Amino acid sequence: MPTRWADNDQYGHVNNVTYYSYFDTAVNAWLMRATGVDITALPALGVVATTSCQFHGSVSFPDQLQVGLRIERLGNSSITYDLAIFRESGAGLELAATGSFVHVYVDGQTRKPVAIPTVIREAAAELVTD
């Protein structure tokens, strides 16, 4: 994932709120690739209930990033993702941030919690770790 010019703040590094955008992009891009479906067309929507981020190093434009993800918990109506953002450097990958991201699945009309759609559950099961 590339950083963008607009990601930098006045201090010359990627602004802290932008990391949440990286998390959101990584999770949803993975979901669409892993399921092969347009997740926005499903009757159940994954809405973000909780996010957190711990910063370990600085990144700035034009850094290239890699975002790793795993599933910490696969519940009935929610998925907890653990994420790590790495900056690519000549020496390899440098840890920049770690975080957590929780999707709760809700009915597209009522917004009440529902079971995770089967296509998403099957894809997510592949990333569950101990």
- What was the pLDDT predicted at 129? 85
* pLDDT higher than threshold 90 for residue 104: yes
Backbone CA torsion sign across 25, 31, 37, 38: negative
- What was the pLDDT predicted at 73? 96
- What was the pLDDT predicted at 90? 87
Of the candidates 29, 28, 30, 33, the one whose C-alpha atom is nearest the C-alpha of residue 46 is 28
Domains and CATH numbers, the chain: 5-125 (3.10.129.10)
Q: What is the mean pLDDT of the chain?
A: 95
Q: Is 25 helix (H, G, I), strand (E, B) or coil?
A: helix
* pLDDT higher than threshold 90 for residue 103: yes
pLDDT band at 6 (very low <50, low <70, confident <90, very high): very high
Angle subtended at Cα 110 by Cα 38 and Cα 106, rounded to the nearest 5 degrees? 50
Phi-psi region of 47 (alpha: psi -120 to 50; beta: other; left: phi over 0): beta
Q: What is the pLDDT of residues 58-70, one digit of tens each?
A: 999 999 999 999 9
Q: Quote the CA–CA distance of 64 and 43 in Å, as a whole number.
A: 35
For residue 18, which phi and psi values (nearest 5 degrees)? -70, -30
Q: What is the pLDDT of residues 18-33, one digit of tens each?
A: 999 999 999 999 999 9
* pLDDT higher than threshold 80 for residue 130: no
* pLDDT higher than threshold 90 for residue 77: yes
Average pLDDT, integer, range 25-51: 94
* pLDDT higher than threshold 80 for residue 47: yes
